[in-house]
Amino acid sequence: EAQVTQNPRYLITVTGKKLTVTCSQNMNHEYMSWYRQDPGLGLRQIYYSMNVEVTDKGDVPEGYKVSRKEKRNFPLILESPSPNQTSLYFCASIHTGTQTEAFFGQGTRLTVV
Amino acid sequence: SQQGEEDPQALSIQEGENATMNCSYKTSINNLQWYRQNSGRGLVHLILIRSNEREKHSGRLRVTLDTSKKSSSLLITASRAADTASYFCATATNQGAQKLVFGQGTRLTINP
């Protein structure tokens, strides 16, 4: 089954404690992306990757890092989380054949206290 | 930067009625897509319309695109309670699919 898997689904952490949200896709897609979703602001892109070892900033990259060492994995790293990073995070893997389509993970609800 | 803006922000209708949601955008696009999100879950792709297309159908969904007005509409016919969800438009520019930009969404409630 084609899918994007994020872990964890829920996470409560304290300010300053480094954390990583993992994302894995089994569709051999080249493009992957991270979004955060906040009430009234919709989905905003954090980082994206066009291929292995190729990443670029989205609209709200401050406070986040990513890596793309393998095609299937695209982890999101918060080196020093702050309360304003409390949000719902989504990883997406993007098919770019004749039908451009983003496949989303189930989301990670992060709370930073 | 937000590209797509949906209108209305919330819509509540009776089951069996048609639901129409609109999306406006600012820059030239390669295609426009609609996604659905059930509460707190991941988004699911519904339909894509390319910049050279004006109308597209998929089951009970009908999407139109007016590039001169930079707007699109999503029509759901014969709505069902299971259609209750948030609906988002997303635009892809010539920069590539990795730069999909989403609007804020329309919250649709279907009342039985």
The overall average pLDDT reported for chain A is 94
pLDDT at residue B1, as a whole number: 41
At residue B84, the 3 state secondary structure works out as: coil
Residue whose token pair is 């955008």: B25
**Chain B CA closest to residue A55:** B98
Instruction: Using CB atoms, pick whichever of A32, A45, A88 lies closest to residue B40.
Output: A88
More confident residue, A35 or B103: A35
Residues 6+ apart with CB under 8 A from A24: A4, A5, A72, A73, A74
B14 touches chain A (CB under 8 A): no
Task: Give the confidence band of B95 by pLDDT, cuts at 50, 70, 90.
Answer: low
